[in-house]
């Protein structure tokens, strides 16, 4: 049986920031890798001044541009099966809590558990899972990694659909806190940028909460290529990256996960998302 990994993300660039090395590694090793993205990321802040006119408050053309960025990132990672949840344009980037964009009728945060769009989104993802039949689904923890409402909706929808479809293992991408802070302290921050504060590092958990550590050092070039593809959203740095807030964050040589549901790892930390699965 071909090993199959399906990753569920909220916006273009989330896949590259959190698990680009993992996606590249398994694709290179011959696993089937499918990426699902919920929204076009229309509410993102734009870094390059020459592209500032694409932003939602101006021309509202950023989503179409980010679609092409995601296509380039997927090519860097060797991911040739990418799909939009429910079909392209079904859901829109909600922006942050309390912003006008959250009131949009297609805002993806409405798909959170208990929301009016939850069952529709779960059904759409379940249909894909039943087609692809992954052994592993990778998404976010219950807090979405850092509280973004679309990330929380992605967790809610991803977990519910995976349980419904009988997926063997569901994992959340996380950062080991102690290791991440050590990498942050060692990061060389270019002039004009600032090192991220510890509270700026999303997805962090106690190091002991990590179940799976995927070594991605050999795939650093693919990860860098994918990150650089998302030029409206981030700048790639030696050993890290910065978002529009201009806080430099480190990249680790491993990408880490904890098991949310299904078959556990049998105790101890393993180095393979498929470890212990049939």
- Ordered by start, the domain boundaries in the chain are 4-262
pLDDT of residue 97: 85
Tell me the pLDDT tens digit for each residue of 258-277.
999 999 999 899 999 999 99
* Per-state percent for the chain, helix, strand, coil, to nearest 5: 40, 20, 40
Measured between alpha carbons, how far is 207 from 200 in angstroms, rounded to an integer?
A: 17
Element (H, E) at 28: helix 14-28
Residue-level pLDDT at 219: 98
- pTM attached to this predicted model: 0.97
Can you tell me the distance from the alpha carbon of 137 to that of 195, in angstroms, rounded to the nearest whole number?
Answer: 32
pLDDT for 18 = 98
Q: For 238-247, how does the pLDDT look when each residue is reduced to its tens digit (9 = 90+)?
A: 999 999 999 9
Residues marked as binding? 11, 14, 151
Q: Are 116 and 110 in contact (CB under 8 A)?
A: yes
- Kind and range of the H or E run holding 19: helix 14-28
Which DSSP symbol is given to 48?
Answer: S
Q: What angle do CA 152, 225, 202 make, to 5 degrees?
A: 30
Cβ pair 198, 184 in contact under 8 A? yes
Which stretches of 40-148 are DSSP H helices? 62-77, 118-132
Dihedral of the alpha carbons of 251, 269, 81, 47, in degrees to the nearest 10: -20
Q: Are 112 and 144 in contact (CB under 8 A)?
A: no
Q: Tell me, what's the pLDDT at 153?
A: 98
Give the span between the Cα atoms of 249 and 193, in whole angstroms. Answer: 10
Q: Do residues 274 and 135 lie in contact, with contact meaning Cβ atoms separated by under 8 Å?
A: yes
Give the tens place of pLDDT for each residue, 72-103: 999 999 999 999 999 999 999 999 988 999 99
User: Which residues fall in the annotated binding site for Zn(2+)?
Assistant: 11, 14, 151
CA–CA dist 165, 133 (Å, integer): 8
CB atoms within 10 A of CB 162: 28
* CATH superfamily, with its number, for domain 4-262: LmbE-like (3.40.50.10320)
């Amino acid at each position: 049986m071909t090993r199959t990994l399906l990753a569920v993300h909220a916006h273009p660039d989330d896949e590259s920031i959190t698990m680009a090395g993992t996606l590249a590694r398994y694709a290179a090793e011959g696993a089937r890798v499918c990426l699902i993205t919920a929204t076009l990321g229309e509410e993102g802040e734009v870094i390059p001044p020459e592209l500032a006119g694409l932003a939602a408050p101006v021309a509202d053309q950023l989503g179409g541009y980010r679609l092409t960025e995601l296509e380039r990132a997927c090519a860097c990672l060797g991911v040739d099966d990418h799909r939009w949840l429910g079909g392209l344009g079904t859901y829109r980037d909600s922006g942050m809590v309390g912003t006008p964009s959250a009131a949009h009728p297609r805002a993806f945060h409405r798909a959170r558990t208990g929301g009016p769009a939850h069952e529709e989104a779960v059904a759409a993802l379940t249909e894909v899972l039943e087609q692809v039949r992954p052994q592993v689904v990778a998404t976010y923890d219950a807090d979405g990694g850092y509280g973004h409402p679309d990330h929380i909706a992605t967790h809610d929808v991803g977990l519910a659909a995976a349980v419904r479809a009988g997926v063997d293992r569901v994992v959340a991408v996380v950062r080991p806190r102690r290791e991440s802070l050590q990498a942050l302290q060692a990061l060389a921050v270019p002039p004009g940028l600032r090192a991220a504060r510890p509270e700026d590092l999303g997805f962090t958990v106690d190091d002991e909460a990590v179940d799976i550590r995927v070594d991605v050092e050999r795939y650093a070039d693919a990860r860098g290529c994918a990150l650089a593809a998302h030029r409206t959203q981030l700048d790639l740095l030696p050993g890290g990256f910065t978002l529009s807030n201009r806080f430099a964050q480190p990249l680790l040589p491993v990408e880490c996960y904890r098991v949310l549901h299904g078959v556990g790892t049998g105790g101890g930390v393993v180095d393979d998302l498929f470890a212990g699965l049939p």
